Structure formats: structure tokens, C-alpha cells
Homo-oligomer: A and B are copies of this chain.
Amino acid sequence: MRAGPSQEEIRRFNLGALLRYVHSRGPTSRAELTARLGLNRSTIGALTADLVAAGLVREEVPRGHGRAGRPSLVVRPEPGMYVFAFTIDADRVTAARVGLGGVVLDRREVARPRGELPPVEVVAPLADFVRSMQAAIPPTARYVGSGAAVSAMVRREDGMVRLAPYVGWVDEPLGEALGKVLGTDHPVTIRNGADLRVLAEHTRGAAVGCDNVIYLHGDAGIGGGIIAGGRPVTGHGGYGGEVGHMVVNPNGKPCGCGARGCWETEVGEQALLRAAGRDGYGREQVTAVVEAAARGDAAAKAALRDVADWLGFGVANLVNVFNPEMVIFGGGLREVYLAAAAQVRSRLNRNGLPACREHVRLRTPVLGDDAALIGAAEAAFEALLADPLDAAAPAVAPT
């Protein structure tokens, strides 16, 4: 119930809206911006001039312009404005430099042994990556911030990792540790991986224009990223979306969280591999089961059918609660869904209420495995997009 904004707040809001538009949709003519943002031509002109002066966009004559008359200039985001984006997964860590507009400019990745690992051993290679990427950064480029995705419950306000079972972390101040090793005064934005994946797909992937989306990511566990009414569902402390720990089978297997029959015990990697009579872990093993099933391997087929049924089961629960337009299956769940879509849909149809499921589309990520990295970049750009002039003040870049 706060009051309406002042003139200056509106100007900043409009600057953010324009910058966000070209950042997520790409280079856009002034004419189209005028139409899309519902502002008049002179306002668009003034806003663009402000953003050009701040080094956030540039204006260009559109390519192939040969007609008579003055062309509508194209506004494009300035990729010299960049962030560092990191992902910390069960089996690898990744770092990238990402320019405004979502362009991955540079990228490093290294596999890491599975199992518990102190944060210092996780963040060290990320800092090395950043150092190794420095040489290629043009002197005119400007650092905006950093974001990291981790399969964990993360306290939104300060990036404290409350629980990350697959690296064995409990209450680890990852945001602080990353900031320290990067040597920047800028805070590093830490978020749950699935929350960032849905953000990325919503901004520039499968779910553009969808206001009610559920992203399910399968690796060792199941992560959920949810957007309802166009806004992320993060909950009171930022821990929402733990759909992997929705109990679906009271007589199921014990889960690492202490409960029994959590959804991830029925549809996680281990569930599939165990049901198929296999050892090991990781995406390659999941793919191997899917391929074996395609070749007619009876155990693999039965395992896939069973996991796909449980997948549809949990999706139906979420569809009844959220009435989404789209459910996206990522990570190992992408493989399972693509190989057994009919099974998933059949269970969804059986358990989902008709009105809740009638418009739901089942999809795989457009951004693939890069969704978390893109999402981490989006999180790092967020302050700039929310208030371009304020956040465009020079930040101390990592060294």
C-alpha cells in the first residue's frame, strides 16, 4: 500500500523497462520500443539517450537499410557491460563472462569429483577461471556483478547456503566466500539452481510470455523453480520450490532429508539406475538406461516406465496446486521425459484435475544445460535492470 512513484522514480522505472526489453529480446528499433512500452517517441528518444550516455546501450542504423527516409534507429544492449556467472553442480563447476543481452562471451568448465567438498575447494577454481578470463576483457568493458547457481537451499538475503546435500554443506557462507576469493567489493548473488533455470527460460527460453511455469531439474536430486503470476515463488526465506521433498510415497525409500518416499527418491537418478539394476551415477548413466530401453532392454524399459509414472504423479500434484501453463523437464529428467512422454502425460491425465491440466504444455529447456549459467547471469544483472543509472556506477571488478 505504498504511494505512487515520483517523476524521477518513473524515469528510472522506464529506463529499466527499456533496458530490460533490449536485454531480453535483443536489438529493437525505436519504433518498436515506442509501441511495446506504450511511451511516446520523444520519451523513448530521451530514455535511449540517457542509456547511451551511461554506456548501457548503443544506437545503430539498421542493417540493410536502403530505403529513402530516415530509418528508425535500432537500440542494442552494450555487451561491454558484463557479469560473471558461476554454476556449482554435483559433478562440475562452470564460470562464464556474460554480456548485457545474455551473450556468453567466455567460458570455463571443470569436472570435479563427486562427494563432499569444502567450499574453499569449490570456489578456488572459479577464481582461477575469472583470472584466466581477464586477459580477453577489453579495457573499455565494465563489470556489473556476479551470480552463482548452486543445487542448494540458499538464504536469499546473503547467499548463505543452508543445505547442499550433494557437496555436504550446512550453513556455509558461499556468497561471502566467493566475494572474498574474487577480490571484489560487489556482493555475489547466490541462488538455487532451479530458481535460476526457470528465470532463464522465462526471460529468454521456452517460457517467454508464460506467467505460470514449473521447471523441474533432475540430477542427484530434483530441484524445482516456480513462477506463478509472472513472479518467482521463493517463499519467506527464499527456500521455496523444494518439490523434490514433496512426499509422494509414504511407504517409499528413505530420503537423505530424513523423510521417506520423497519425490526425488522415486524419480531421481538413483531411482532410475537402481530400478534398472545398475550402479553408478550421473547423466551418462541416465542416458545409458534410456538408450538401453530404446534397444529393448527389459529391465531398462521397466525402470523407465516406473520412473516416468512417478514423474507424472508428482507433476499432477504440482499442476493441481499451481494450474501452470508449462512444465519444463531439465537435466536427467529431460532424458526421462523425452523417452517416456506418453507415460508421464498419461499419469498426469489420470491424477490431474481437468481444469488444472487442460492448458498445460510439457516441454524441455530451450537453453539446455546452460539455463543455470544464463540464470546466474540474469540474477547478476538484476540490480542494473531494476535501476540502470544507480547500478551503473563503476563496481570494483574481480582481479
- Interface of A with B (CB < 8 Å)? 1-5, 9-11, 13-14, 17, 20-21, 36-39, 43, 153, 155, 162-163, 211-212, 224, 226, 228-229, 231-243, 245-251, 257-259, 313, 316-318, 320-325, 350-351, 353-356, 358-360
Residues in B with CB closer than 8 Å to A241 are: 321
Known: A1-B17, A355-B162. A236 touches B258 (CB 8 A): no
When all copies of this chain in the complex are counted, the total is: 2
Q: Are A321 and B259 in contact (CB under 8 A)?
A: no
Known: A245-B353, A353-B257. A240 touches B322 (CB 8 A): yes
8 Å CB contact of A250 from B234, B237, B313: B313
Q: Are B259 and A351 in contact (CB under 8 A)?
A: yes
Q: Are A240 and B323 in contact (CB under 8 A)?
A: yes
A320–B240 Cα distance when bound, in Å, is 6
Residues in B with CB closer than 8 Å to A258 are: 350
Residues in B with CB closer than 8 Å to A153 are: 353, 355-356
The 5 nearest A-B residue pairs measured at CB: A235-B323, A4-B10, A240-B323, A4-B13, A242-B320
A86–B4 Cα distance when bound, in Å, is 33
Q: Are A242 and B356 in contact (CB under 8 A)?
A: yes
- How close is A34's CB to chain B, nearest CB, in angstroms? 10
A6–B11 Cα distance when bound, in Å, is 11
Q: Are B239 and A356 in contact (CB under 8 A)?
A: yes
A320–B224 Cα distance when bound, in Å, is 11
Residues in B with CB closer than 8 Å to A212 are: 235-236, 240
Q: Are B323 and A37 in contact (CB under 8 A)?
A: no
Given contact pairs A1-B20, A212-B240, enumerate 17 new A-B contacts (beta carbons under 8 Å): A1-B37, A3-B13, A3-B14, A3-B38, A5-B10, A162-B354, A212-B235, A226-B321, A229-B234, A236-B324, A240-B321, A242-B321, A242-B323, A243-B320, A243-B321, A246-B321, A248-B250
